Structure 1
Amino acid sequence: MSLKDQINADIKAAMLAKEKEKLTALRAIKSMILLAETEKGAQEEINEDAEMKLLMKAAKQRKDSIDLFREQGRDDLADKEQGELDVISQYLPQQLSEDELKIELQKVIEQVGAAGPQDMGKVMGAASKALAGRADGKTISTVVKSLLS
């Protein structure tokens, strides 16, 4: 079942269960998928990789909003965004823990043959592809910096 079909089924279930917050998050995901499908030059159906990128983008937007709202003392809005992030996270693959991430990045560093901080670009390019969907770029960058130092 494609992500779009899964989202549609979950929207129906959320409507029947009268779960407003979940419904809002699911509709946002569906909207992003429809926009990606209808943008200029797109195929009819988006592939699994593109779906994963959309979900990662939606999750990142929610995380950034949560940080901003907490900074400004708007916990009510931050809690709403956190609820949406929780729903979006259900569709993302399991995120790697920091220890697992270090092990994976160590393998990437060995494959690329990186020797120091000057090779960070090479490592980040390979790591971003290898760990797509399982860790966010900011976390990957932080761990790579510490490993290459």
Structure 2
Amino acid sequence: MDLKERLNQDLKEAMRARDRLRADTLRLALTAIRRAEVARTDPRHPQHGQPLTEADLLALLEKEVKSREEAVALYRQGGREDLAAKEEAEIAILRQYLPRPLTREEIAAEVARIIAEVGHDFRAVMPRAAQALKGRAEGRVIQEVVRELVGRAERAG
């Protein structure tokens, strides 16, 4: 069962269980997916006519999580703990559909493998690392690890 089917199935189960928060969160995620599908029907879209891949779906869910994390920060600044708690509950629901993020050590191992292949030039390593780890680690963390390991490789040799 692909991710979209799983989201639809879980939405039905949440509706049967009268779990309003879960149902609303899944509806919003499915709406974001539907919008992305409709956007691809536009002839001007760079991926016109192509269906959404699992990677696209995961990227959409990650985007939904990020927007909710930003909302949590803003609600906390405004002293609205009630709304921040609701957003955090939605984040927890959406994270159930995302793969487990890689640890810093796992990222470092992958980056070390890439450095062994292409050398210790940051401009060669970073795009390969970003592509290899896309969806499994945050870009900021990938960049930090690449800078650290490339710097270490340059000093060593």
Do they fold alike, i.e. is TM over 0.5?
yes
* TM-score (norm. length: structure 2): 0.80
- Please name the residue that 2:84 is paired with: 78
Taking only the aligned residue pairs, the percentage that are identical comes to: 37
Task: Return the offset for 1:27.
Answer: 0.9
Is this contact kept in 2: 1:37–1:43, CA < 8 A? no
Task: Return the offset for 1:111.
Answer: 2.3
Distance 2:89 2:95 in 1: 10
Distance 1:71 1:122 in 2: 40
* Structure 2 counterpart SS, 1:94: coil
* Structure 1 counterpart SS, 2:137: coil
Is this contact kept in 1: 2:118–2:124, CA < 8 A? yes
Distance 2:118 2:76 in 1: 39
Structure with bigger RCO (C-alpha 8 Å, 6+ apart): 1
Q: Which one has a bigger Cα radius of gyration? A: 2
Unmatched segments (≥5 aa) in structure 1: none
- Please, what is the CA RMSD of the aligned residues? 2.0
Q: Deviations over 1:1-31 (max 9, x none)?
A: 2222111111111111121221121111100
- Please name the residue that 2:2 is paired with: 2
Q: Deviations over 1:107-145 (max 9, x none)?
A: 222223124xxx2x4322111211122111122122223
Distance 1:31 1:123 in 2: 36
Which amino acid in the other structure matches residue 138 of structure 1?
R
Which amino acid in the other structure matches residue 95 of structure 1?
P
Distance 1:34 1:125 in 2: 29
* Structure 1 counterpart SS, 2:65: helix
